[in-house]
Amino acid sequence: MGGPNTFLANGYHYEKAMFWVDKCAELAKKNNKKIALEIHNGSLIETIESADGFIKDINRENVGLIHDAGNMYITDTDYGG
C-alpha cells in the first residue's frame, strides 16, 4: 500500500490510501475476490494499531490483512511473538 511510515503519516495519507483501496475492493467484490494488505515496514500499516485502524475505517468485508511478523520485527513493533 505504500508509505510513508505510520509514525510519519498524516491524515491525508490514510484518506488517499482508503480512497484507492475502496475502489479496488469494489472491483474485487464484483469479481468475488478479496484484497489482502500486508503489514509491512515502511508503510501506512506497519503496526497492529495502524493496520487495525485502517481495516476498521475502510469497513469492507472483502479487505483483510496478512500478518507479517518479519516486517513487524524490522519495524520494532509487537508482532505477537
Question: pLDDT averaged over the chain?
Answer: 87
Q: Give the tens place of pLDDT for each residue, 1-26.
A: 788 988 899 999 999 999 999 999 99
Please answer whether residues 81 and 69 qualify as being in contact, where contact means their C-beta atoms are separated by less than 8 angstroms. Answer: yes
Cell of 15: 484518506
Residue 49's Cα: distance from chain center in Å?
10
Angstrom distance (rounded) from CA 32 to CA 12? 29
| Helix extents (H) in the chain | 11-30, 48-58, 69-75
C-alpha triplet 72, 76, 77: angle, nearest 5°:
65
